[in-house]
Structure 1
Amino acid sequence: MKKTITARQNAFQQVVVTLTNNQTKFSQIAAMVNMFTDLNKLVGETDELITKAGSIPTKTAGNKNLARTELINIALKTSSIVKVYAFVIKNENLNNFVANISMSSLGLMRNQELLNFCKNLLDNISPITSELADYGFTEEMKAELQTEIEDYEKLMTQPRQLISERKTTNELIEDNIDKIQSLLSNQIDPMMELFTEDKEFYLSYKSARMIVDPASHKRVTDNESSEQTEE
């Protein structure tokens, strides 16, 4: 998460706290009440998005190498049985499919190539599972092959999914930050001029509207530091 985004959100949270503590002072001003409601909602949604962004793993869960090894092992075991079966019943197509399969050949396959082979293997054995039982193939082995295929595919696609999810979430956060800034600058800030005589409320609001710029560690208002804190 960008430091400027975090700094702005922290400042917005302080504004919400200040307005919440002084609600009775503007409860009769309908426009101000509506603005505060919108602000509270936007800040809350942004908090949830930031929490979500922080929970998205930066690395793929699990161990792809381990999953690949387990998939190769069950694929080799299954292929060996299919090879014997195809030879005995003289199924040339099936025999050609598994004829050159070995630990070495499976190990040399690229990730997608290995996944495609295993899916095709599963498709080929599904109609003849009962016949393969006479050669040592079991329903448990079939289930294991299915599971290893699914696990390996998940590990292959998850990084892309995580990148996409993280990008979308960060874009939503930045969009919300812009909406909050616009709401404050164009609506609530001008509205606060109605409370200049209430020094405690007015000054506490102005103080809450200040942002700590993480680059310079200087406290500056949004309007004064728009260039420094720009994304």
Structure 2
Amino acid sequence: MSSEAFFTLYSDLPRLGPGSDACTREALKRLTALPSAPRVVDLGCGTGRQTLVLAEALRTRILAVDLHRPYLDQLEREARARHLDALIETRQADMGALDLPAGSVDLLWSEGAIYHLGFGPGLRRWRPLLARGGQVAVTECTWLTDARPAEAVRFWAEGYPTMANIPENRSSAEAEGYEVVETFALPHSAWWDDYYSPLLERLERLRPSADAELREAFAAAEGETDLFRRHGDSYGYVFYLLRLREP
């Protein structure tokens, strides 16, 4: 799938991956206490649906980082519409190579993006950014059962071969210097309501004028949604809530 076809299909969607405002708020609620004015960074923010929730809930300034400028433009428009623009700063940058000062972040947030770096390697790269007692909240696609349908295994072996289960990811986090505060799996509604359903609706709107590359993107999206419809009990996104371990 070409990047142009991907951005055409996924532009203007409520979310670029599984999640919900309710899940973001639930994760915030389950964290340990934050400073009164926490320094917050949202990495791989995409169009920033969760960034907006964080700004509304914490009433503190959020730095939202993504490589794709049109996503950040969309976030800025929505922040202005919600009168949250004074709380949200966007930055076009590589989330794996940030130039932020060491120890300058109290809460590092990332929904659906750490897989670009790998779960353990991503946590390793981000750890120096955290202040003493700093916390991390990330969602990661995760095996939820050992009874894995062969079709799902084949799909993820190609799409994300290092995908692990919850105990393995907990061990990876601990090996990188974190305490695991809590984990919870996102419900099926977090996949369908603001992600798959709008994606399939957009696909149908675009279908009449689609070229070959866009039709290839359609096939990939439809295959992914069909797989989740059949085998979504075997894998899903999990929120991992972590805290930097005291030395």
Q: Same fold by TM-score, threshold 0.5 exceeded?
A: no
Structure with the largest fraction of helix: 1
Query: Larger C-alpha radius of gyration, 1 or 2?
Result: 1
Please give the range of the TM-score, normalised by the shorter of the 2 chains.
under 0.3
TM-score normalised per structure 1: 0.28
TM-score in terms of structure 2 length: 0.27
